[in-house]
Amino acid sequence: MQIRLNALREGFQKIEGSLPRELLDISDEWFKQPLVDVNLSINKGSSEISIDGIVRAEAEFECDRCLVPFTQNLQSNFQVILTTGNIGPEQIDENIISITQTTMEVDISNYIRDAVLLSVPMKKLCDENCRGLCSRCGVNLNLERCKCGQNESDDRWEPLKKMLTLS
């Protein structure tokens, strides 16, 4: 997404839009929707432009516990600061971009893509209280009760149980 700096006026402004996933180089199988929504709040000063962004996307996952497919709306924030001032070594930050007075456009696609990908949860759950699958018979415990006899003891643990009773 290109931000045309010469088209921005001094002060606060908002830009809203949708970008195709291909433009952001997001080809992950989780993202079935073709568009990613982007809302930008831009504050242009005399020597600095602050861009605060909110990115929204819809993803389709498979639950890590019960293996049922589900859809989840993802949202993430990012911030980029464009500055014409000198950036010292102590101020080096990946979110600060040094620009000149003659810079016409800045591409923030990488920041948007990173925000989308960072919004993907590490543990993908259809529900916070998902009970998963039975480890013996494989029945989905969210939908029905297990009938395989979970209370039966496993003979492999008997030597350990004997050790506990001796102590």
User: How many CA atoms, within 13 angstroms, populate the side-chain half-sphere of residue 164?
Assistant: 5
Question: Residues 13-38: pLDDT tens digits?
Answer: 998 988 877 777 776 677 777 778 89
| Mean predicted confidence (pLDDT) in 65-93 | 81
In a domain, 63, yes or no: yes
In a domain, 71, yes or no: yes
Residue 121 belongs to a domain:
yes
Q: Does a structural domain hold residue 164?
A: no
- Count the domains in the chain: 1
Q: Is residue 149 part of a domain?
A: no
Neighbours of 70 (CB within 10 A): 15
Q: Kindly report, residue by residue over 83-124, the tens digit of the pLDDT.
A: 886 665 555 567 777 777 788 888 888 888 888 888 889 999
- In a domain, residue 116? The reply is yes
